[in-house]
Amino acid sequence: MVHISKNKFFIILFAVLLLIFLLIYNIFSNLTVSVSAGISNWGLKFNEEGKAPIANADAEFLKKYNAYYVGNQDDKYIYLTFDAGFENGNTPGILDTLKKHDVKSAFFLVGNYLEKEPELVKRMVEEGHIVGNHTYNHPDMSLISNLDSFKKELVSLEELYKEIIGEEMPKYYRPPQGKFNEANLKMANELGYQTIFWSLAYVDWYTQDQPTKEYAFNKLIPRIHPGAVVLLHSTSDTNEEILDELLSRWKDLGYTFKTLDDLTAGNI
pLDDT per residue, tens digit, the chain (268 aa), is 445 565 555 555 555 554 554 444 344 334 343 444 565 899 999 999 999 999 999 999 999 999 999 999 999 999 999 999 999 999 999 999 999 999 999 999 999 999 999 999 999 999 999 999 999 999 999 999 999 999 999 999 999 999 999 999 999 999 999 999 999 999 999 999 999 999 999 999 999 999 999 999 999 999 999 999 999 999 999 999 999 999 999 999 999 999 999 999 955 4
| The pLDDT value given to residue 239 | 98
Mention every residue, 6+ apart, whose C-beta is less than 8 A from residue 128. 104
Residue 141 contacts residue 150 (beta carbons within 8 Å): yes
CB 109 within 8 A of CB 121: yes
Domain-embedded: residue 46: no
By the 8 A CB rule, do 133 and 174 touch? yes
pLDDT at 9: 52
Bridge pairing between strands 40-41 and 130-133:
unpaired
pLDDT number for residue 13: 56
Task: Give the whole-angstrom CA distance, residue 132 versus residue 214.
Answer: 30
In-domain check, residue 191: yes
Residue 204 pLDDT? 98
201 part of a folded domain: yes
Q: What is the pLDDT of residue 25?
A: 38
- Residue 36 has a pLDDT of 41
Kindly state whether residue 43 falls inside one of the protein's structural domains.
no
pLDDT of amino acid 33: 39
Q: What is the radius of gyration, based on Cα positions, of the chain?
A: 22
25 in a structural domain:
no
The residues assigned a catalytic role are: 83, 233
CA distance 59 to 71: 9
Residue 47, domain member (yes or no): no
Residues counted in the chain: 268
- What does the pLDDT read at residue 35? 41
Using DSSP, state whether 242 is helix, strand or coil. Answer: helix
In a domain, 147, yes or no: yes
The answer to whether 130 and 259 are in contact (CB under 8 A) is: yes
> Residue 21, CB half-sphere, CA atoms under 13 Å: how many?
6
In this prediction, residue 29 carries a pLDDT of 39
Q: Which domain holds residue 197?
A: 57-263
> Which domain CATH number covers 163?
3.20.20.370
The answer to the question of residue 255 being in a domain is yes
What residues are paired with 133 via a beta bridge? Answer: 109, 173
* Angle of CA points 26, 28, 32, to nearest 5°: 115
Q: Domain tally for the chain?
A: 1
Residues 6+ apart with CB under 8 A from 124: 95, 107, 131
| Degrees to nearest 5, angle at CA 112 with 234 and 100 | 30
Cβ-proximal residues to 222 (8 Å cutoff; 6+ apart), any chain:
49, 50
Judge whether 79 and 103 are in contact, CB under 8 Å: no
